[in-house]
Every structure is written in C-alpha cells, then in structure tokens.
Structure 1
C-alpha cells in the first residue's frame, strides 16, 4: 500500500521506518495536512496524520476525490477529524489508543513538580549566578488532595503516581474504577466538589462536545486560590480567555500545560527567529509568571514513539489485507 505520512517529524521517522519493515511504500512530508496540502495525497491509498493536522469536511472532500481510502492517526485523540463526514465519504479511520499512557501521565507529574517547585525559574537564576531562594517557595505534595478528571488509562496511572506521593485522590469520571477505589483509596465525586477540595487538578479527558471548555470561568472560580491546574489532555478542554483572567486575578495559583486551545499554525514549528506569533491570547498566557507551557511533547519518549509507529502500521497492514483494524473509530459525533 502507498502511504503518505503528514507532519512527519525527524525524530519519529526512524521509528516509523522500522515499524514498516519495508512492507509498504511510504513517503514522509513535514507539511501538516490542510486544504492547501491535501493535493500531496494524490496517488496514495492511505495517509497518516497527527493531532495538529486538519481533517475537516473540506479537506476530507479533497482527499476522497484524490483517491485516499484510509486514514491512520498517530495519536489517541481524534477531535481534528470530522468522523461523521469520514464515514459518509467511505474512509476507514483508525487511531493509536493507549500507545503509552505512562508517557503522558509522567509528563503531567513533571509539569506539576516543575511549576510547584519553580524549577524553570531556579534553573534560569543559577545560570545567571543567582543562588537566592526567595522566589522559589513551593509546597509538599504529601497529604495534599489531587483531583483527577478523566480516569481512563492515563488518568489511572496519574492516580497511582500521586498515591505514591501520599496524596488523597478525588476522581471524576462517568465510569468508576473499583480497583482504584479499593487499592488506592480513590473517591469519585462530582466535578464541583473535586474542584473545591483539590490542591491540584489534573485533566485527562478527550476533547468532545461534552468536555469542550469543561474548565470555564465558573469552574475556575470554584477552585482554591492556592490550586494548580495541570493539562495534558487537549487545549480546548480549558477556556483560555477565562483562564488568563483567572490567573491575572490570582483566582488560582498556576497553570501547567502541554497543550493549547489553538495550536494550529503555532505548535510544531520554530518561530524563534521571526518571533512571528499572531495569537495575542497565547502571548498573554506565556507572559504570566504562574504559567508553564511545553510544546505538546508528552508523547515524545522512545517507548511511546515505538508504540505509535507499531500501531500505525498495524492499522495499515490490516487494511492492506482487507481486514478491519481493532482501532477503527466508532464514528461518534465529535468536535470537527
């Protein structure tokens, strides 16, 4: 099968080449999929896209007309593809679920530790030969309450890690994991109660109509003024405008995130030479000293990249053999 890999990053190409095992004709492009680059898929039966690619209605129409039949996502989330239209156009679509929940959960913990203990500021100061500790005050995680919103594969690992720190764990999810309740003392509560009582709130939900702006102005006002909000889910789970206002007013203590509401055109690119970022809200967010943002890198571990590559070519192999992939999406109604 001929496969075009959009948004191919240099560090992931070796993993994808290894997983392919010379079975398929693969072409890599650094370009993201959008209405301008869809024409590159002419002559390819299958494409692989990442979370920053645009597989909206207009793009899918073009891909269909160009003869593409299969779309394999190199991500667990699939809010960037119009699933209902993909089904109507006859595409087979599969994602890469559970490629490494440890990578994402561990990055969430890294963000939490870094913002709490002012690691970035401390590192900057000592490189300037400033060894004072005046602005580096944090708090013990031990005996604090951590609220985990979304307790699937990633959220469950977050629970286990935070339990290791000696934290009390509150959880919010439609499904209650009885093993976590029994083994880790997790208490499932309503969202408002979780927000009110938690010293740390960590987001691990997919982006759907129900979770879009799950954390809005009202929810931020409910949280403790001393609370930290951690987001390794999707940027639009949080209303960024409301968040910036809350941070400026000190309604919460800080925000650490690996994702942003409007990543397209900004993330996965180097803007350091031009400084050309037109998103004023992102500039406001980055200007705040109680914000820590990483560039959607939680998945960038050797293990995660190897698993993503293997899952991607498992999907392609299945389709090449005329079989269904176990990762094919159920065509739920999601945000397009």
Structure 2
C-alpha cells in the first residue's frame, strides 16, 4: 500500500521503516499535514498523522479528492480528526490504542493497521468507525495472543 506519514520526528523514521519490513511504500514527511502539505498524499491510499495534525472538513475533503481511503493517527485519541466528516467521506480511521505507547510500540501498531487493511480485514480495537462488528473483538483476541 502507498502511504504518506506526516509529522515524523527523526527518532521515529528508522523505527517505522524497520516495523514496516519493506511491506508498504512509505513516504515520511517531517512537516505536519495542512493545506500546504496535503499534496504529498497524491497517489497514496493511506495517511499517517500525529495528534498535532488537525484534520478538519476541508483537509479530509482534499485527502478524499486525492484518493486517500485510510487514516491512522499515531495516538490513542482522535479528537484532532473530524471523525463524522471522515465517515461521511468513507475514509476509515484507526488509532494506536494498545498499551505499548513507546515509539516502537506505536510504529508496530501503525504497520499492523496497514497490514490488516491491505488484507481487507477489520483492524480490531484500533478501528475508530461507528460500526459495532464482531470482527473487531476477534482481531483483538488474535493480536493479543501473538504479542
């Protein structure tokens, strides 16, 4: 999957690349996501952001126009994303909710989310959609067993 990650700090770069294991085509940007940087998402299926990136209606609309289908925040909270607008645009949102919130833990969760989406699966507890699906619970159990 082609992915752009915004607001990447120097200490995150290598760890995210190692967690990826050359599975996804990652573009890492140190700038935050805003109206002047949204163009980096051209041709990407997924966007990775931090809690410092504010994704309002206009940014989400631009991402959708560029073909983005998936959005992952490297945080537990999703308050910085207009989730209602994302859902109306059919952009799936995931967070990184698992206990390990180290740089390594968040990188692994982020790549895990991409892997599940790439394989057409529900991403479990990291899913931030409003649906209440049984797959979510099954994937959480499976992921926790493998950790």
Q: For this structure pair, what is the TM-score category when the shorter chain's length is used for normalisation? A: 0.7 to 0.9
2:3·2:26 contact (CA, 8 Å) conserved in 1? yes
Could you tell me which of 125, 128, 145 is aligned with 1:329?
128
TM-score of the superposed pair, with normalisation by structure 1:
0.38
Report the alpha carbon displacement of residue 18 of structure 1 after superposing the two structures with TM.
Answer: 1.0
2:74·2:96 contact (CA, 8 Å) conserved in 1? yes
Please, which runs of 5 or more residues in structure 1 have no aligned partner? 101-298
CA distance in 2 between counterparts of 1:86 and 1:47 reads 13
CA distance in 2 between counterparts of 1:73 and 1:59 reads 15
Say which SS state the counterpart of residue 12 (structure 1) adopts.
helix
CA distance in 2 between counterparts of 1:58 and 1:46 reads 17
Map 1:71-90 to 2 at 5 A.
Answer: 71-90=71-90
Report the alpha carbon displacement of residue 30 of structure 1 after superposing the two structures with TM.
Answer: 0.6
2:87·2:129 contact (CA, 8 Å) conserved in 1? no
Structure 1 residues 188-241: Cα deviation after superposition (integer angstroms, max 9, x where no partner): xxxxxxxxxxxxxxxxxxxxxxxxxxxxxxxxxxxxxxxxxxxxxxxxxxxxxx
1:3·1:47 contact (CA, 8 Å) conserved in 2? yes
By percentage of residues, which structure has more helix? 2
The reply to whether residue 2 of structure 1 matches residue 11 of structure 2 is no
1:83·1:331 contact (CA, 8 Å) conserved in 2? no
Partner of 1:242 in structure 2? none
CA distance in 2 between counterparts of 1:98 and 1:310 reads 10
Could you tell me which of 309, 326, 331 is aligned with 2:107?
309
1:5·1:47 contact (CA, 8 Å) conserved in 2? yes
Say which SS state the counterpart of residue 14 (structure 1) adopts.
helix
CA distance in 2 between counterparts of 1:44 and 1:94 reads 16
Partner of 1:122 in structure 2? none
Partner of 2:93 in structure 1? 93
Partner of 2:59 in structure 1? 59
CA distance in 2 between counterparts of 1:35 and 1:77 reads 22
CA distance in 1 between counterparts of 2:30 and 2:72 reads 16
Report the alpha carbon displacement of residue 50 of structure 1 after superposing the two structures with TM.
Answer: 0.2
Map 1:165-314 to 2 at 5 A.
Answer: 304-314=102-112
How many residues are treated as equivalent by the alignment?
A: 130
Larger Cα-atom Rg = 1
Report the alpha carbon displacement of residue 331 of structure 1 after superposing the two structures with TM.
Answer: 4.0
Report the alpha carbon displacement of residue 54 of structure 1 after superposing the two structures with TM.
Answer: 1.7
Report the alpha carbon displacement of residue 324 of structure 1 after superposing the two structures with TM.
Answer: 1.2
CA distance in 2 between counterparts of 1:96 and 1:43 reads 24
Say which SS state the counterpart of residue 310 (structure 1) adopts.
helix
TM-score of the superposed pair, with normalisation by structure 2:
0.84
RMSD after superposition:
1.4
